[in-house]
Amino acid sequence: METRRVIYPVLYKSAHIVTITLAAFIVFTAKPGSSLFSWHPTLMAITFLFLTFEAVLVIDSDHSPLVGSSRSTQILFHQIINISSFASAMCGFVAIYYHKDISGYEHFKTWHGTMGVITLVIHFLQIIGGTITKYRYPYVQKLLNLKLNGLDLKIFHSSFGLLLYAVVWLTITCAMFSSWFSEYVTGIWWSICILSAVFLAIVSMHQILLFFILFVQIRIAEMFINGFVAIMRQLFFKTNKSSLKSK
Ligand code: HEM
């Protein structure tokens, strides 16, 4: 309890400062507009260090910048920020793809490039999953003979979020080993960037993990309550039947 009250707010506030500073540092290093390539680090930093990070914070009831607003408003903002982040990531991808085409480089030859594509695919699936979690689409579920309730979908959405964040941080860390980044950012600054990425990875995954644990706890409680109700019902019917027979 004490940890939640004292350490978490400090941790989240520092993560906020670190993520914005790191994004600003990458944008500053890339000098957006100086070349087609410059848009790739710029847009990816804005997408994954700012937008997706804020999208998770916005729905955190304790640390949301929209604290005090209704849950549906927070979820609406979560959805809008995530959809915009996907559009921004796509533009960042197109920029690097065309830059490599024009420069005659081969595609997806590095760990960063390969992890990057995986990240973009998981990001897309997560947006689709989030939309399904929000609207549930009962008609489609009926058509596919599925019976997923809101809680199941939330558990799935947060587990996939964990996976997304794991690949995002791997991709960003690999980017810091790219020849472009290690040419412009050296020495202590490079080490600070890597440490910041590791710190942000821990905080963001911890935050999503808390959501996941909460949903799983509710699911377990729901199963216990359902089991208890079923047992009570059976006991009640049995006693009722036997009392009717004895009459
Ligand atoms: C999670 C965010 C990111 C994703 C999804 C991503 C995705 C990608 C992809 C898919 C490629 C390969 C494109 C191709 O081969 O046609 C690539 C290349 C590249 N990216 Fe990123 N990127 C991200 C963040 C960054 C950041 C923050 C930087 C700079 C610090 C960066 C620097 C580079 C560089 C220098 C290349 C060219 C060299 C290479 O292919 O490894 N990227 N990125």
CB of 45 shorter than 6 A to ligand 1: yes
- Residue-level pLDDT at 143: 78
- Residue-level pLDDT at 15: 87
CB of 23 shorter than 6 A to ligand 1: no
- Alpha carbon of 171 to ligand 1 centroid (Å): 8
**Which amino acid is it at 245?**
K
> pLDDT digit of tens for each residue in the chain (247 aa)?
566 677 777 888 888 899 999 999 999 999 999 999 999 999 999 999 999 888 887 887 666 677 777 888 889 999 999 999 999 999 999 999 999 999 999 999 999 999 999 999 999 999 999 998 888 877 777 777 777 778 888 888 988 888 898 899 999 999 999 999 999 999 999 999 999 999 988 888 887 787 778 778 887 888 888 888 888 888 877 766 666 666 5
Are 55 and 85 contacting, i.e. CB atoms less than 8 angstroms apart?
yes
Helix (H, G, I), strand (E, B) or coil at 104: coil
- Reading the block at residue 46, the tokens are 């804005």
Going from the C-alpha of 150 to that of each of 76, 129, 137, the distances in angstroms are 16, 12, 11
CB of 96 shorter than 6 A to ligand 1: yes
Cα separation, 132 vs 126, in Å, equals 10
Q: In the CATH scheme, what is the code of domain 2-220?
A: 1.20.120.1770
Q: Within 13 A of 22's CA, how many CA atoms are on the CB side?
A: 29
CB of 78 shorter than 6 A to ligand 1: no
Cα separation, 51 vs 57, in Å, equals 10
Alpha helices, DSSP H, located in 31-104: 39-45, 52-58, 71-103
Cα separation, 239 vs 126, in Å, equals 50
Domain assignments of the chain as residue spans, ordered by start = 2-220
CB of 173 shorter than 6 A to ligand 1: no
Confirm whether pTM is higher than 0.75: yes
**Which amino acid is it at 7?**
I
- Reading the block at residue 98, the tokens are 């065309």
- Alpha carbon of 57 to ligand 1 centroid (Å): 25
The secondary structure element, H or E, covering residue 59 is none
- Residue-level pLDDT at 27: 97
**Which amino acid is it at 17?**
I
Are 129 and 156 contacting, i.e. CB atoms less than 8 angstroms apart?
yes
CA 227 to chain centre: 33
